[in-house]
Amino acid sequence: MNTIATLHIGEKGIISDEMIDKIPLKLLEMGCLPGAEVELLQLAPLKDPLYICVNGSHLAIRKETASLIQLIKSE
């Protein structure tokens, strides 16, 4: 299972519609919607939080939350 938490820096993926009900409403409102491309930009020193780019918006999310957002890996 690929999630945002399993990405390496610079990797991209497309948010899957599986488990969409587990994504917090606040993230959905900020653009973390199915079909959106997400890229991992940076990790904090203790690997939490993760700094991501979703459709041009930069967000910092907790690793626990990132592990709930399933991805389809893009090439």
pLDDT at residue number 9: 94
pLDDT at residue number 75: 60
Which amino acid appears at position 41 of this protein?
L
Q: Which domains does the chain have, with CATH numbers?
A: 4-73 (2.30.30.90)
Q: How confident is the model at residue 58 (pLDDT cuts 50, 70, 90)?
A: very high
pLDDT at residue number 3: 92
pLDDT at residue number 5: 92
pLDDT at residue number 27: 87
pLDDT at residue number 29: 87
Per DSSP, the residues of the chain read --BGGGPPTT-EEEE-STTGGGS-HHHHHTT--TT-EEEEEEE-TTS-SEEEEETTEEEEE-HHHHTTSBEEE--
